[in-house]
């Protein structure tokens, strides 16, 4: 029952780049990203679709890459933590996490940031409570969330400011 | 995960034919339950039929007292839809309480109802909002849909296409979430159709059910206090680590009272 | 986990007892039963394709009938193995009482699960066991169902 | 030096950039050429005899390369996994340690115990292969009930019962006498609930063997790679230490659970050599639940005696501690030396006696989890004190003040073997009362009542002993290793500094904090200091990170090594300046004598290019130190929790949490606050949400995040944290340690608040909504309303 079915051809935009890929149908998106593309910033912290460490964006919305087949991303755009900012130029949300000490061991951090960016981009104006509820799909064991909430609120402001700046240019 | 053949049909007929021709097929909608289950190797369908390519399963429409949701509509879309928020805000609010944001961005109403998890949120809406479930074969009245634990009126291979909810005068949904999984330990939707009150309960029994005793009491007097003496009969309440049957029964009453208070 | 139930069957007790010992009848009443063989030691080996929501697995069930007290009672011991999915063990005490021309069938089941079923499915175990038992005895009752002979579910 | 990057500055963490951008390297992120995958065969039964393991079908399956079982590891002479701390029973006998083979050989003793390893070309093939193995188990009755386990039929063949030890500390007779004379005795029976650590990164191992050199290399999720190497070498006998390299790269949290040497990495490195291919294993979360060492799990009865003026006169504690099926690496020490010794708390209780029975059950091992023994001790003491205050009508803060050890009492010797060096407990309490607006609580309670809510407030004034401890003392008490730490400071020829520490960072921020310490001490720019840890091939030795020891012990080693650097630099400078060493001072990164100045960088260059150099001095500027603490450090603090209870549903909301802690000198306040936040969240999880539950049949029924309730963002409030400072008197940094405090103090504070709101004497942890609802219902029934 586990004989390898033939691989499927996939066309996925990964972090802005057009990728032509092949994977068997039973490949989870998170495994395609981690094993085939070497994008190991997306982590696996559970097997029940609860912890959110594998959160990526699919067409701009946060989804759990452990509950999505790679083939379901065919024809769509996937953004991972590696695609939102770099060491040279952190995304405002990444910068806010650093500034607020919103990470310790770092394992949940990529998923947390991907969830936070979606929350800011698609959520209502955020309050402390709204951020806490909006992060319901992400578990952190280190920080007690205090600084994460602070960072998301700060990141929200920074993202708005960055948008304004861009709008002005 | 075990191997399977993947199909992405573009019509319902094609999907049904694929299902019929396969040894042990499963439809893939949002996949938020099915894929983790397969990943844990607790299910191994021979074929997965992805419904995402079937155009007619998408979309939200409102018409003459109805809100119609295509089966592949994601929870987040229902929660954010201006049409739903305008016509039936309780349904949008309920959709916004399912799972967590990432799950809502993937999970779809048709898949949720086909799976019929005893602790899912939508079933309460199907019953209380007098929904009609449209399939590729027929229409099923919401009241006839839930049959037992994970058991629905759907026949093998039957595909939910659309769910039509009847817009009440007012409604409210109150949920007591499982602190670990965020599924409903008890979820109660109370809808007032100008005197005719419907109460849908999820999370509490083997499948969603209407609390007829509550409905009768509320028809007499639409007041939270009216529920104090009303007892749900004929339901074996679920009992698990998170809530005994007795506590669940209590929570159902409290959630119902809160829903009534909210809609007043 | 322990549960009980009761059915009234419009058939005389000896016939109900005979059916309770008939592997073919048992096989027909177990939802998803694909085969049922009697083994040398008198036990039965069944292959059952079971489904609880999204979980689907094929189980091998070893059924033993013990404490036989014809035609009044026996106990079915079930040892159910689902490989990687886990296992279940259970027993059903079945009592038959004459009730005029009909028979009152009463059962008390106890069951436990292990492996992934216990680890991941805790919230569903109770309900699933209840449903399986109810489905079995409901199907069993239907075995006697010329419409005239089937009795109602008393509770 | 006070600067933007020196000691005391909230320097942003330099490790963050790689975590934020997804470029960190956790064990599962690594891949080696020729790598294959391992999947463990695990027992579905809590106790069963292992019969035939039929691997024939598995071996025929596509991609499967090998199936190793306990028979194979035993035949190869692999040693048992040891317990590193020998505890003696009160009768003087050694603890009874059941053999713990890495893979079970004849019997499995908990659900999830590994008894075989399937190796295949792909992970999918290994998983499929594992499902094809047919194992003949003969089920045996498991021992599950902690209260009766000790005298139940023995789990392990050859043992008389399930008692690993029956340990005691303190003066039994004096305590009994004082209790008999007490004017009031407060009694409680308490349960400290079983917790599952749940570091977000599941454990993983990637083992490799090079037959040409005979070198083994193991990447694994360890908090202490050197200890791992020591155990795998000396006890399990994988390979001699010089042939065994252990690397713990980025590790995604540990909280204790990654201290221990587990079966999995042991089997993986062994099998990699057998097979001649690198093997990777990464736990599923489901496996983590089953096979990581769990925490806590005590039942206790305790009595506190008070005199007529409210002074504590005696404390008697009887505890049964669940050790699981096998003694994990530090498990024996946790409910004894890390628990009984802490029962004095912050108080001058003159008579204390504690007895701990450590028992075997058919569950996963129980070992150190954030706080390790100290949260359990704090829970006993602080629940008793709060209850006594309520029984006697005292303000709980006032009863504490009355009994607290005062600043002038230090050094203070407790009746349970510790000597507290310093502290000011009341200062923390007063500050916490202020931050908690204790004076305004009555009004808040009234306001809540108007809304139909119950408000409660609870205290916990905890003490912990960490930074453990003089090696000689620990070894006398049964420790199998020393408890010092190593550090090396290498000033490179151009003046940049590489620091090597045996203390491992998995979220604590050592790469930043230790760089602050060395940069401050040596006066070199922060950015010029690099910290290396987690690799036995690069760092000489170490004992890892646990017990809030990293800064107090590891940081002190770096101070000592830095002092040696300065001493040598002074000699180099004195030679160049043509003066005596005594005339050379070291300030702000430079050696100074009169108007002559030589920077550390110049001294370093001179040492590596020794042209004009002291003739009797070795070239190079690299120094190491082993720092052995003279005493424990004693962080302490006051935590105040405020909760609000929904009377209808029983839901408890933690609405406010104040933590005022004394960690001694603080290097990076931002990181310290973060440690407190995280600790409090875990303590709140223990008090309100988390519970590892085995059913009566021995199955773990909270085996996933669907049922094991992890605290999420919306379960918690913002925390109010502050510090008071009494520097540690016996280490060069004055630091005490901050990693565990939050988890130690908070459970008692929260349960004290919940019981205050409910008006009941006790409620078991976690205080779930159903339990609270039942309490309320009972209260209602007894009041007849």
CATH number at residue B9: 3.30.43.10
Contact B240 C123 (CB under 8 A): yes
Flag whether residue D707 sits within 8 Å of chain A, measured between CB atoms.
no
Give the position of tokens 């090396």: D488
Looking at chain A, which residues constitute the CATH 1.10.150.120 domain(s)?
Answer: 92-168
Q: How is residue D378 written in tokens?
A: 């704090």
Contact D94, D83 (CB under 8 A): no
Q: Alpha-carbon distance B185 to B187, whole Å? A: 7
C86 vs D contacts (CB less than 8 Å): 44
The alpha carbon of residue B217 is apart from the nearest alpha carbon of chain D, in Å, by 20
The per-residue pLDDT for D546 is 82
Fold of domain C2-153: Alpha-D-Glucose-1,6-Bisphosphate; Chain A, domain 4 (3.30.530)
How far is residue C150's CA from residue C11's CA, in Å, rounded to a whole number?
A: 8
Conformational region of residue D62, where left means phi above 0, alpha means psi within -120 to 50, and beta covers everything else? beta
3-state secondary structure (DSSP) of residue D239: coil
Contacts of B151 in chain C (CB under 8 A): 131
CA of A69 vs chain D CAs: smallest distance (Å): 15
Phi then psi dihedrals of residue D248, to 5 deg: -105, 100
Look at residue D782 in the predicted model and tell me its pLDDT: 82
| Location of each CATH 3.10.20.30 domain in chain A | 8-83
Cα dist from D2 to C21, C155, D5, D520, whole Å: 87, 79, 8, 8
First to last CA, chain B: 49
**Shared-domain flag, residues B69 and B151:** yes
Q: What is the pLDDT of residues D19-51, one digit of tens each?
A: 999 999 999 999 999 999 999 999 999 999 999
DSSP single-letter state for residue D714: G
3-state secondary structure D390-456: HHHCCCHHHHHHHHECCHHHCCEECCCCCEECCCCHHHHHHHHHHHCCHHHHHHHHHHHHHCCEEEE
Chain B contact for C127, CB < 8 A? yes
| Sequence spans of domains, chain C | 2-153
Q: How far apart are CA D140 and CA D486, in angstroms?
A: 47
* Selection from D412, D383, D385, D409 nearest residue D396 by Cα: D385
* Res A168: pLDDT: 65
Q: How far is CA D65 from CA A169, D68, D104, D119, D206, in A?
A: 61, 10, 21, 6, 17
Q: Which CATH architecture has domain D31-140+201-252+258-291?
A: Alpha-Beta Complex (3.90)
Report CB contact under 8 Å: D707, B247. no
Q: Give whole-number Cα distances, C55 to C87, D284, D546, in Å.
A: 14, 19, 41
Q: What is the interface pTM, i.e. ipTM, of the complex?
A: 0.96
What are φ and ψ of residue D113, in 5° steps?
Answer: -65, 130
Judged by CB atoms closer than 8 Å, whether chains meet at B39 and A137 is answered as no
**CATH code for the part of the protein at D295-468+631-783:** 3.30.365.10
pLDDT at D161: 96
pLDDT of C148 strictly over 70: no
Per-residue model confidence (pLDDT) at position B182: 94
Q: Tell me how many degrees the CA angle D503-D506-D507 measures, rounded to the nearest 5.
A: 120
**CB D464 within 8 Å of CB D698:** no
Distance CA C66, CA C84 (A): 28
Asked if B162 and B181 sit in the same domain, the reply is: no
d(CA D513, CA D8): 10
Q: What is the pLDDT of residues B122-137, one digit of tens each?
A: 999 999 999 999 999 9
The answer to whether residue B39 scores a pLDDT higher than 80 is: yes
Averaged pLDDT in 10-residue chunks for chain D of 785 residues: 83 97 98 98 98 98 97 96 96 96 98 98 96 96 96 95 98 98 98 98 98 97 96 95 97 96 98 98 97 98 98 98 97 97 98 98 98 97 98 98 98 96 98 98 98 97 89 87 91 96 90 96 97 93 84 92 97 97 96 96 97 95 94 96 98 98 96 98 98 96 97 98 96 94 98 98 98 94 65
Please indicate, yes or no, whether residues B86 and B150 belong to a single structural domain of this protein. Answer: yes
Same structural domain, B137 and B220: no
Cis (ω within 30 of 0) for the bond into C71? yes
Number of structural domains in chain B: 3
Residues B93 and B162 grouped into a single domain: yes
Neighbours of B64 (CB within 10 A): 5
A123 interfacial to chain D (CB closer than 8 Å): no
Cα pseudo-dihedral D120, D124, D125, D128, rounded to 10: 120
D754, containing H or E segment: helix D741-758
Residue with tokens 């509820």: A133
Q: How many CB atoms lie within 10 A of CB A18?
A: 9
Q: Closest partner residue to C126 among B43, B119, B240, by Cβ?
A: B240
Question: Per residue in C31-53, pLDDT tens?
Answer: 899 999 888 888 999 999 988 88
| pLDDT above 80: residue B242 | yes
Answer CATH for D16-22+484-627 from 3.30.365.10, 1.20.1440.230, 3.40.50.970, 3.40.50.300:
3.30.365.10
C154 pLDDT more than 70 = no
Output the pLDDT for position A5: 62
Q: Is C38 on the interface with B (CB under 8 A)?
A: no
State whether D16 and A97 contact (CB < 8 Å).
Answer: yes
Is D546 within 8 Å of D224 (Cβ atoms)?
yes
Would you tell me which CATH number, out of the four given (2.60.120.560, 1.10.150.120, 3.40.50.10800, 1.20.1560.10), belongs to the domain A92-168? 1.10.150.120
CATH fold match for the domains D16-22+484-627 and D295-468+631-783: yes
- Segments of chain C assigned E as strands: 2-9, 33-38, 44-52, 55-69, 73-81, 87-99, 102-114, 150-153
Q: Is the pLDDT of residue A169 over 70?
A: no
Element (H, E) at C136: helix C122-142
Query: What is the SS3 assignment for chain B?
Result: CCCCEEECCCCHHHHHHHHHHCCCEEEECCCCCHHHHHHCCCCCCCEEEEHHHCHHHCCEEEECCEEEEECCCEHHHHHHCHHHHHHCHHHHHHHCCCCCHHHHHHCEHHHHHHHCCCCCCHHHHHHHCCCEEEECCCEEEHHHCEEECCEECCCCCCCEEEEEEECCCEEEEEEEECCCCCCEEEEEEEEEECCEEEEEEECCCCCCEECHHHHHHHHHCCCHHHHCCCCCCCCCCCCECCECHHHHHHHHHHHHHHHHHHHC
Convert D292-324 to b/e letters by CB count within 10 Å (16 or more is b): bbbbbbbbbebbbbbeeebbbbbbbbbbbbbbb
Q: B240 CB near a chain C CB, below 8 Å?
A: yes
In CATH, which of 1.10.260.40, 3.10.20.30, 1.10.540.10, 3.40.50.1820 is domain A8-83? Answer: 3.10.20.30
Q: How confident is the model at residue C155 (pLDDT cuts 50, 70, 90)?
A: very low
- The pLDDT value given to residue A2: 45
Domain membership of residue B226 as a residue range: 171-263
Pair (B150, B95) in one structural domain: yes
- Alpha-helix runs per DSSP H in D523-642: 556-577, 600-608
């Amino acid at each position: 029952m586990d004989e390898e079915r033939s691989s499927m051809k996939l066309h996925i935009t990964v972090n802005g780049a057009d990728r032509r890929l092949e994977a068997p149908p039973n490949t989870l998106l998170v495994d395609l990203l981690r094993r085939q593309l070497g994008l190991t910033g997306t982590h696996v912290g559970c097997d029940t679709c609860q912890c959110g460490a594998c959160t990526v964006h699919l067409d701009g919305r946060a989804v759990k890459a452990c509950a999505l087949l790679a083939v379901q991303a065919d024809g769509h755009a996937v953004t991972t933590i590696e695609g939102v900012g770099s060491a040279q130029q952190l995304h405002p949300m990444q910068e806010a996490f650093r500034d607020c000490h919103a990470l310790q061991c770092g394992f949940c951090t990529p998923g947390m940031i991907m969830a936070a960016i979606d929350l800011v981009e698609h959520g209502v104006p955020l309050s402390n409570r709204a951020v806490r509820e909006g992060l319901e799909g992400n578990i952190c064991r280190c920080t007690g969330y205090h600084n994460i909430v602070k960072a998301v609120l700060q990141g929200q402001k920074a993202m708005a400011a960055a948008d304004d700046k861009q709008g002005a240019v | 995960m075990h191997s399977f053949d993947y199909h992405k049909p573009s019509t319902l007929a094609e999907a049904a034919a694929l299902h019929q021709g396969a040894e042990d097929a499963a439809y893939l909608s949002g996949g938020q339950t099915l894929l983790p289950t397969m990943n844990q190797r607790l299910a191994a369908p021979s074929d997965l039929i992805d419904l995402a390519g079937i155009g007619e399963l998408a979309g939200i429409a409102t018409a003459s007292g109805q809100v119609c949701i295509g089966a592949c509509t994601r929870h987040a879309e229902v929660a954010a839809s201006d049409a739903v928020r305008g016509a039936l805000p309780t349904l949008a609010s309920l959709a916004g309480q399912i799972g967590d944001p990432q799950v809502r961005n993937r999970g779809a109403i048709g898949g949720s109802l086909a799976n019929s998890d005893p602790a899912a949120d939508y079933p309460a809406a199907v019953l209380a909002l007098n929904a009609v479930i449209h399939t590729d074969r027929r229409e099923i009245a919401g009241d006839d849909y839930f049959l037992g634990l994970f058991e629905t009126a759907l026949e093998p291979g039957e595909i939910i296409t659309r769910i039509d909810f009847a817009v009440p005068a007012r409604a409210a949904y109150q949920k007591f979430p499982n602190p670990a999984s965020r599924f409903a330990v008890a979820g109660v939707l109370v809808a007032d159709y100008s005197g005719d009150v419907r109460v849908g309960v999820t999370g509490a029994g083997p499948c969603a059910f209407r609390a007829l005793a509550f409905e009768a009491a509320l028809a007499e007097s639409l007041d939270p206090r009216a529920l104090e003496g009303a007892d749900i009969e004929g339901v074996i309440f679920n009992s698990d680590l998170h809530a005994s049957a007795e506590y669940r029964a209590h929570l159902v009453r409290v959630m119902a009272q809160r829903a009534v208070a909210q809609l007043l | 986990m322990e549960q009980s139930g009761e059915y009234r069957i419009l058939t005389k007790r000896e016939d109900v007892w005979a059916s309770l010992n008939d592997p073919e009848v048992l096989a027909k009443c177990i939802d998803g039963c694909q085969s049922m063989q009697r083994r040398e030691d008198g036990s039965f080996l069944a292959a059952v394709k079971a489904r609880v929501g999204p979980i689907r697995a094929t189980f091998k069930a070893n059924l033993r009938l013990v404490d036989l007290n014809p035609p009044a009672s026996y106990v079915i011991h079930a040892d159910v193995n689902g490989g990687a999915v886990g296992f279940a063990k259970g027993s059903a005490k079945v009592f038959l009482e004459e009730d005029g021309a009909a028979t009152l069938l009463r059962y008390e089941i106890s069951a436990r699960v292990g492996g992934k079923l216990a680890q991941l499915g805790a919230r569903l175990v109770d309900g699933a066991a209840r449903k399986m038992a109810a489905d079995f005895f409901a199907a069993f009752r239907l075995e006697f169902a010329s419409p005239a002979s089937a009795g109602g579910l008393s509770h | 030096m006070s600067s933007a990057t020196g000691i005391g500055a909230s320097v942003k963490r330099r490790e963050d950039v790689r975590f934020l951008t997804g470029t960190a390297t956790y064990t599962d992120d690594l891949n080696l050429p020729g790598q294959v995958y391992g999947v463990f065969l695990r027992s579905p039964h809590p106790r069963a005899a292992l019969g035939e393991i039929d691997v024939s079908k598995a071996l025929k399956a596509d991609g499967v390369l090998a199936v190793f079982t306990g028979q194979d590891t035993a035949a190869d002479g692999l040693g048992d996994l040891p317990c590193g701390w020998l505890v003696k029973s009160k009768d003087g006998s050694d603890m009874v340690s059941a053999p713990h083979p890495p893979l079970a050989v004849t019997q499995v003793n908990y659900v999830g115990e590994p008894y075989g390893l399937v190796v295949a070309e792909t992970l999918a093939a290994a998983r499929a292969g594992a499902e094809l193995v047919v194992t003949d188990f003969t089920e045996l009755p498991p021992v599950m009930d902690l209260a009766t386990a000790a005298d139940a039929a023995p789990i392990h063949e050859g043992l008389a019962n399930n008692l690993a030890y029956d340990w005691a500390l303190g003066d039994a007779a004096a305590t009994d006498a004082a209790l008999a004379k007490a004017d009031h005795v407060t009694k409680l029976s308490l349960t400290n609930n079983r917790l599952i650590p749940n570091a977000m990164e599941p454990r993983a191992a990637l083992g490799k063997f090079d037959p040409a050199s005979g070198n083994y290399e193991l990447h694994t999720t360890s908090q202490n790679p050197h200890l791992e190497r020591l155990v795998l070498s000396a006890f399990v006998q994988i390979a001699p230490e010089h042939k065994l390299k252990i690397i713990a790269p980025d590790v995604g949290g540990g909280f204790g659970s990654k201290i221990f040497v587990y079966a999995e990495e042991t089997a993986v490195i062994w099998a990699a050599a057998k097979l001649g291919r690198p093997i990777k294993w990464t736990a599923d979360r489901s496996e983590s639940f089953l096979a990581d060492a769990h925490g806590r799990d005590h039942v206790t009865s305790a009595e506190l005696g008070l005199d007529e003026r409210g002074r504590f006169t005696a404390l008697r504690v009887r505890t049964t501690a669940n050790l699981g099926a096998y003694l994990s690496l530090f498990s024996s020490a946790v409910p004894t030396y890390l628990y009984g010794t802490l029962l004095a708390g912050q108080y001058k209780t003159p008579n204390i006696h504690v007895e701990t029975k450590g028992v075997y059950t058919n569950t996963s091992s129980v070992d150190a989890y954030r706080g390790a023994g100290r949260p359990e001790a704090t829970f006993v003491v602080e629940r008793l004190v709060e209850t006594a205050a309520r029984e006697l009508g005292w303000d709980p803060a006032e009863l504490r003040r009355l009994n607290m050890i005062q600043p002038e009492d230090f050094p203070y010797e407790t009746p349970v073997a510790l000597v507290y060096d310093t502290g000011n407990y009341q200062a923390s309490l007063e500050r916490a009362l202020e931050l908690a607006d204790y004076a305004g609580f009555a009004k808040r309670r009234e306001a809540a009542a108007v809304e139909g809510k119950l408000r409660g407030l609870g205290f916990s004034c905890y003490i912990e002993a960490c930074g453990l401890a003089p090696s000689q003392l620990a070894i006398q008490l049964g420790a199998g290793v020393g408890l010092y730490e190593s550090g090396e400071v290498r000033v490179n020829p151009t003046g940049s500094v590489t620091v090597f520490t045996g203390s491992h960072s998995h979220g604590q921020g050592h790469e930043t904090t230790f760089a602050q310490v060395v940069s401050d001490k040596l006066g070199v720019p922060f950015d010029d200091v690099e910290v290396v840890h987690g690799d036995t091939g690069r760092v000489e030795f170490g004992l890892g990170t646990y017990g809030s020891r990293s800064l107090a012990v590891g940081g002190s080693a770096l101070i000592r090594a830095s002092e040696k650097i300065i001493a040598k630099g002074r000699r180099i400078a004195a030679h160049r300046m043509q003066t005596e060493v005594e005339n050379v001072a070291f300030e702000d990164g430079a050696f100074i004598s009169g108007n002559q100045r030589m920077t550390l960088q110049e001294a370093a260059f001179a040492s590596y290019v020794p042209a004009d150099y002291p003739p009797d001095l070795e070239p190079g500027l690299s120094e190491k130190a082993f720092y052995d603490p003279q005493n424990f450090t004693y962080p302490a603090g006051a935590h105040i929790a405020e909760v609000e209870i929904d009377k209808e549903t029983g839901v408890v909301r933690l609405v406010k949490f104040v933590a005022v802690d004394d960690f001694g000198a603080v290097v990076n306040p931002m990181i310290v606050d973060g440690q407190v936040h995280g600790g409090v969240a875990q303590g709140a999880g223990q008090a309100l949400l988390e519970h590892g539950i085995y059913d009566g049949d021995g199955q773990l029924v909270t085996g996933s995040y669907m049922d094991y309730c992890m605290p999420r963002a919306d379960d918690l409030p913002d925390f109010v944290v502050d510090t008071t400072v009494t520097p540690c008197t016996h280490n060069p940094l004055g630091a005490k340690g901050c990693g565990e405090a939050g988890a130690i103090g908070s459970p008692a504070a929260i349960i004290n608040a919940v019981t205050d709101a409910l008006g009941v004497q006790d409620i078991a942890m976690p205080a779930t909504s159903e339990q609270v609802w039942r309490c309320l219902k009972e209260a209602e029934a007894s009041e007849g309303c």
